[in-house]
Amino acid sequence: MNIAQLRQEYHQHICKEIIRLQRDKDTYYPNFADRGSKASRAIALGILRRLRCSPTYEKISGQTAGRLFERATKDFLEQAFLQLHHLRPGNWYYSTQSPISDFDQYEHLANLEKIVKQDSELATALGKDYIITPDIVIGRRPISDEEINQGGEIIAAEDALASFTPLRQANFEHPRPILHASISCKWTLRSDRGQNARTEALNLIRNRKGHLPHIAAVTAEPLPTRLASLALGTGDLDCVYHFALPEMQEAIAEIGNEDQLEMLMMLIEGRRLRDISDLPFDLAT
């Protein structure tokens, strides 16, 4: 199955399981639009038409929609990344709601948290929110020497070489997976949700021991001006990915909202916003 087919299945699943039409007086709008924004509702409806969605009117809480969006995105990435295995081989696994202390680069945070919890003065000085739980994580399991030496001897067990790398299973009594990617999923961007993603990203950057994982965010937010609150700037997240970027661009052009279209093009041309179909390829880099 190619990326286009997987993307279509992803959208079909979201349309069926997550998107709902909500009523405001005599009009209906999708549950990823802002009720108080005419532009948001118009863009969201334009996206639905292009995705050929037939959503229901059954109510769904924002929390439930968010959890389902995480799972749908995780499943899409897992299937899509599998198609690129020849570009990025490895023993990968995918999970939602796994703490970063499960991974090699952040294993030390579990010990630090125990110490801080036992010392109130230290907790006051350093804070206590060390261990974050990203919405989606992608990890790579360490490999055995047998796998390393498949094409000929690269490393011998008796050699005191390459003895600290987490990729080599033989280096640790209890080897931990390596965090390859941390992905924040935001069904919409309201209030401080974008800031939460930035805070998580800074935590990953500052507290790692080892290489930095990919740090990305995926959202269905229809307003480019809201997307800008998370996407603009550099250094925190690699990039923001929209669940239906081409469809959103067409929807904005259709309603003729020049301000939103200008912001959207700034984000795209500034390489701060991409489509969900780009993310598996970016993860393969």
Query: Alpha carbon of 123 to those of 63, 127, 159, 216: distances in Å?
Result: 30, 5, 43, 29
User: pTM for the whole thing?
Assistant: 0.93
Which is more confidently placed, 122 or 134? 134
Q: What is the 3-state secondary structure (H, E, C) of 181-242?
A: EEEEEECCCCCCHHHHHHHHHHHHHHCCCCCCCEEEEEECCCCHHHHHHHHCCCCCCCEEEE
Buried b (16+ CB within 10 A) or exposed e, 101-116: bbbbbbbebeebbeeb
- CA–CA gap between residue 16 and residue 21 (Å, rounded): 12
> Using 50, 70 and 90 to split pLDDT, how confident is the model at 26?
confident
Q: What is the mean pLDDT of residues 228-240?
A: 89
- Residue 121 reports pLDDT greater than 70: no
pLDDT confidence of residue 191: 60
Per-residue model confidence (pLDDT) at position 123:
62
Q: What are the sequence ranges of the domains in the chain?
A: 3-17+62-150+161-283
27-40 pLDDT, tens digit per residue, is 889 999 999 899 99
pLDDT digit string (tens) for 182-197? 999 999 997 666 778 8
Mean pLDDT, the chain, rounded, equals 91
What's the rounded Cα separation, in Å, for the pair 85 and 4? 17
CA gap 83, 224 in Å, rounded: 31
Residues 6+ apart with CB under 8 A from 55: 15, 19, 20, 21, 30, 48
Per CATH, is 3-17+62-150+161-283 categorized as 3.40.50.720? no
